[in-house]
């Protein structure tokens, strides 16, 4: 019988490694997903580099970010980021916190991150900022207190990405695959916006274009296509043999008999 929790652990571990392989995460950052059968819990690895995460590393947490089972392993200090978003947004089922190099200049400068291409439209109409100084004064910039996680979730509001001043970004998704798609392409959108600035002009998408392009690219088909691509790239690095290509109707067409030409 299918085991939803085991499947979710495998999927989440792969998402961690995909985002590391695609250059969004390095030794730091983390990815979580809501529990597949209990919306009052979420899944997260114990504290280790995302590139190293495997299914056995995935633990269960309550929405107040406490482990369901007491363990001896070190936990991520910033897990309240995830718990805060899950508490505030019932429709969110996956969250990523990262410090992607292309996004950090926006977090440092306060320059507005805008959708500048059709795949970047998956960020939505805007990326609000959150500054810990506004409510908590000077801190070590680690979001470790429940009140800090709740504050960040309020800044995210109804949006899909929030930029954390001088720190990084937090991204949300309705599914884990959608989250990975949005996280990668918004990071690439940020890099292209920075490159366009060097040419002296940036022409972002209009709100209408953003809405239409975002809806188009978040359909199941584009997300599945990208997920398969990133998975195969990861498998090659990890030495996993590629699976046989799934046969389609086109590959099942019966061979036609050659016609005999009469002279």
**Active site residues per annotation:** 78
- CA geometry: angle 170, 26, 85, nearest 5 deg: 20
What is the rounded distance in angstroms from the CA atom of residue 115 to the CA atom of residue 174? Answer: 19
Q: Which two tokens stand for residue 195?
A: 């490159």
User: Which is it for the CA torsion 143, 90, 29, 66, positive or negative?
Assistant: positive
Helix and strand element counts for the chain (H, E):
8, 7
Residue whose pair of structure tokens reads 């000077």 in the numeric block: 138
Q: CA torsion, points 8, 9, 12, 14, in degrees to nearest 10?
A: -110
d(CA 258, CA 61): 64
Indicate the SS3 state at residue 137: coil
């Amino acid at each position: 019988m299918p085991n939803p929790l085991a499947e979710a652990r495998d999927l989440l571990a792969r998402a961690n490694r995909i985002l590391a392989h695609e250059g969004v995460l390095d030794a730091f950052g983390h990815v979580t997903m809501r529990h597949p059968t209990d919306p009052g819990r979420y899944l997260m690895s114990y504290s280790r580099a995302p590139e190293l995460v495997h299914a056995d590393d995935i633990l269960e947490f309550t929405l107040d970010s406490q482990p369901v089972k007491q363990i001896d392993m070190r936990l991520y200090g910033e897990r309240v980021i995830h718990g805060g978003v899950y508490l505030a947004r019932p429709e969110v089922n996956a969250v990523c916190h990262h410090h992607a190099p292309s996004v950090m200049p926006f977090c440092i400068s306060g320059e507005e991150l805008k959708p500048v291409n059709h795949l970047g439209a998956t960020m939505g109409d805007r990326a609000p900022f959150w500054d810990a100084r506004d409510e908590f004064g000077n801190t070590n910039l680690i979001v470790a207190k429940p009140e800090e996680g709740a504050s960040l979730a309020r800044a995210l509001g109804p949006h899909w990405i929030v930029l954390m001043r001088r720190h990084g970004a937090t991204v949300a998704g309705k599914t884990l695959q959608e989250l990975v798609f949005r996280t990668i392409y918004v990071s690439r959108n940020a890099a292209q916006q920075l490159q366009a600035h060097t040419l002296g002009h940036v022409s972002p998408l209009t709100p209408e274009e953003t809405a239409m392009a975002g809806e188009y690219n978040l359909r199941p088909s584009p997300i599945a296509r990208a997920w398969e691509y990133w998975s195969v790239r990861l498998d090659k690095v990890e030495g996993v043999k590629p699976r046989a290509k799934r046969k389609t109707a086109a590959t099942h067409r019966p061979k036609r008999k050659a016609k005999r030409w009469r002279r």
